């Protein structure tokens, strides 16, 4: 996605060989026009996958997910990173390790928002080691539903997440694939 590549190069900041800061348009301040365009790309790729709902993990995946859901005219569900005090015991939960934050969190889904007939599109902001996506997959599959595909805004191709998910047979579509990060270095994969 050319406009996303351009935005990453203009406003993104490689803080290290593993960290790309994109807070000016994706995960602190949001560029709504860019999010809408992302939704268009995700819709076009996944529109024939029989998707019934879109799932995302709070919070940076919400903007591209809601734009995709609007364009596909289907519901979007936010997977919570901790158990809410207002949720009953009627939920699915799995532990996910965040390499970025350096700790584990509980990913939570209320059972009323999924059923066995659902075909879920998971959308997330970043793919690195695949832990977040695998956690979302576990919740979907624990409910007896099916993962129709996984949409990623920015994939760090030099980390193992893409290969792990592809080797498990998931249909994965990334809008931007980063081949290399370094001190002020951002290189895209072909």
CATH topology of domain 37-176: Rossmann fold (3.40.50)
Which has more confidence, 94 or 190? 94
Which long-range CB contacts under 8 A does 180-184 form with residues at least 24 apart? 180/17, 181/14, 181/16, 181/17, 181/18, 181/19, 181/20, 181/156, 182/14, 182/16, 182/17, 183/14, 183/16, 184/13, 184/14
Any binding-site annotation on 111? no
C-alpha 75 chain-centroid distance: 16
Establish whether 48 is an annotated binding residue. Answer: no
pLDDT tens figures, 124-177: 999 999 999 999 999 999 999 999 999 999 999 999 999 999 999 999 999 999
26 φ, ψ (degrees, to nearest 5): -125, -50
* pLDDT score recorded for residue 87: 55
Q: Is 27 annotated as a binding residue?
A: yes
4 labelled ligand-binding: no
Tell whether residue 12 is among the known ligand binding residues: no
131 is in an annotated binding site: yes
Per-domain residue ranges of the chain: 37-176
Residue 181: φ, ψ to 5°: -125, 145
* pLDDT tens column, 2-17: 999 999 999 999 988 8
Q: Is 130 annotated as a binding residue?
A: yes
The helix-helix angle for 32-46 and 2-11 (nearest 10°) equals 140
């Amino acid at each position: 996605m050319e406009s996303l590549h351009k935005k990453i190069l203009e406003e993104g900041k490689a803080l290290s060989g593993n960290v790309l800061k994109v807070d000016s348009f994706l995960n602190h301040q949001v560029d709504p026009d860019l999010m809408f365009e992302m939704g268009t790309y995700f819709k076009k790729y996944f529109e024939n996958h029989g998707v019934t709902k879109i799932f995302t993990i709070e919070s940076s995946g919400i903007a591209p997910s809601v734009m995709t859901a609007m364009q596909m005219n289907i519901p979007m569900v936010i997977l919570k990173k901790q158990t809410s005090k207002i949720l009953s015991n009627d939920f699915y939960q799995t532990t996910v390790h965040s390499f970025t934050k350096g700790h584990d969190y509980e990913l939570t889904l209320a059972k009323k928002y999924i059923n066995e007939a659902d075909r879920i599109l998971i959308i997330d902001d970043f793919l690195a080691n695949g832990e977040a996506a695998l956690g979302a997959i576990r919740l979907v599959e624990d409910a007896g539903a099916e993962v129709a595909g996984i949409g990623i805004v920015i994939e760090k191709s030099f980390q193992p997440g893409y290969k792990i998910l592809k080797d498990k047979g998931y249909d994965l579509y990334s809008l931007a694939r980063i081949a290399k990060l370094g001190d002020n270095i951002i290189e895209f994969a072909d």
